Structure 1
Amino acid sequence: MFEMMRRSWIRVIAATLTAAATQWAAAEAVAPEALIKKVSGEVIEAVKADKAIQSGDVKPIMALVDAKILPHVNFQRMTASAVGRYWRQATPEQKTRLQDEFKLLLVRTYSGALTQVKDQVVEMKPMRSKPEDTEVIVRSEVKGKGEPIQLDYRMEKAGETWRIYDVNVLGVWLVENYRASFAQEIGASGIDGLITKLAEKNKGAAPTKG
């Protein structure tokens, strides 16, 4: 009897500690809107302070993107969503090539936008989510001179980490926008044709500085 009671209490204590640990981890996790606000603010301040980035110098731009943005993006999910149903038909090598070229395309596009940063600030919009949600949309506006720019993020939660898998600029979701053109290219030239097209576009868009 004593041994059974001892084991029961051990289970109760273990369950209590597990629940407490889960709550502590959740409390320490960064909320998605807080993460976006933090990263956006750090990127804008870094651009404002670096004349080389403002002039379009590729090396500091790429370094900033690598350090501040890429760790918070799920490029595999983003690429798979953009490629759509054809992703299942791709070989492991083709998936790697697609992800690498798509990532480079997005980084170069984002890098070009960074050179336009002057006096902008990021304003977060109210969240419409529940604490138990594992996928959310974080809405924001980039404000400066001229009209504000809508910039929203679709984010997923893996463990206690939030990562971006799609971006909405001025009402257009990036992944959905690319999905149609990618499907058209694959229909005409196959998956390898899309990879070649992306590689050519990235090569043609390569900055001359640096």
Structure 2
Amino acid sequence: MILAFGAIAFAGMASADEAPDALVKRISYEVLDTAKADKDIQGGNQKKVLELVEAKILPHIDFQKMTALAAGRYWREATPEQQKRLGEEFRSLLVYTYSGAISQVRDQKVEFKPLRSTPTDNEVEVRSQVIQPRGEPIQLNYRLEKQATGWKIYDVNVLGAWLVESYKSSFSTEISKNGVDGLIKVLSEKNKRLAAAAAKPAKAS
């Protein structure tokens, strides 16, 4: 679940000329403040959390690039329909992952390190750490790519592990055994279980 904490930076309205570190800082603070102030989110209202994810997080993630990187060489071998379905299932999986992270936000704070980049860079890494009331800080870095509509996040690093690389191993294993359709089926079944869990009413606090 700690890997899912990268969700806190995936929100907000971006402008095409907004610097990548400014974007990540602003949206990180917005999501943290919203989660801390919303009693429904604090109480585990998954419907409201999912609405927040859909409205503010998803527009700033390049899901196609994430899926292509996670699938590796198998992405190029997949048919357009398989690529479409795989992207949709991977997107849904990440939505539930991010929702779980937002539900757990309490008293955390985020600190950012200076951005190492030049004005001509089209890809950058924004480095930060999550400060917790108890325990060591959590390293949390982001890879962003500059696109026509602004900067998009396509990978997250938590405690030294990149999210895309983590999925790449499991994706490769499943595809080598059961093909791309086999991976799509596995992700679909997992998403159905997560959807059923999210549909359950929140427990009274």
Please tell me whether residue 134 in structure 1 is matched to residue 122 in structure 2: yes
Alignment check: 8 A CA contact 1:39 1:68 kept: no
Instruction: Tell me what 2:21 maps to.
Output: 33
Structure number with bigger Rg: 1
User: 1:208: Cα distance to partner?
Assistant: 3.7
Deviations 1:22-80 (A, max 9, x none): xxxxx971100000011111111111111111222121111111222111110000000
- 1:53 paired residue number: 41
The CA deviation string for residues 69-117 of structure 1, in whole angstroms up to 9 with x for no partner, is: 1111100000000000000111111111111110111111111111111
The residue type paired with residue 43 of structure 2 is S
1:39–1:69 contact (8 Å) kept in structure 2: no
How many equivalent residue pairs?
A: 184
Partner of 1:94: 82
**Offset of 1:170 from its aligned partner?**
1.4
Residues 131-173 of structure 1, C-alpha deviations (whole Å, 9 max, x = no match): 1100000011111212211111100001361000111111110
Aligned to 1:184: 173
Q: Which letter does structure 2 place at the counterpart of 1:209?
A: K
Separation of aligned partners in 1, 2:76 and 2:57: 27
Unaligned segments of structure 2, at least 5 residues:
1-14
Partner amino acid for 2:102?
L
1:105 to 93, 100, 112: 93
Task: Give the gaps of 5 or more residues in structure 1.
Answer: 1-26
Q: What is the Cα-based RMSD across aligned positions, in Å?
A: 1.5
Kept in 2: contact 1:56–1:112 (CA 8 A): no
Runs of 4+ in structure 1 over 3 Å off: none
CA contact (8 A) 1:43 1:64 kept: no
Quick one: percent identity of the two aligned structures? Answer: 59
Aligned-partner residue type, residue 35 of structure 2? V
Match of 2:200 in 1: 209
* TM-score between the two structures when normalised by the length of structure 1: 0.84
| Bigger share in helix | 1
- By relative contact order (CA 8 Å, sep 6+), the higher-ranking structure is 2
Query: Which residue of 63, 68, 77 corresponds with 1:75?
Result: 63
Whether the 8 Å contact between 2:143 and 2:153 is mirrored in structure 1 is yes
TM-score by length of 2: 0.86
Separation in 2 of the partners of 1:84 and 1:116? Answer: 32
Q: Which amino acid aligns with 1:73?
A: I
Query: Distance in 1 between the 2:35 and 2:152 partners?
Result: 22
Q: Hey, what's the Cα distance between the residues in 1 that align with 2:176 and 2:189?
A: 18
Matching residue's letter, 1:145: P
Other structure's SS at 1:205 match: helix
CA contact (8 A) 2:16 2:151 kept: no
Aligned-partner Cα distance in 1 for 2:94–2:117: 27
CA–CA separation in structure 2 for the residues paired with 1:75 and 1:171: 21
Corresponding position: 1:196 with 2:185 = yes
What amino acid is aligned across from residue 205 of structure 1 in structure 2? L
Cα contact 2:16–2:150 (8 A) shared by 1: no
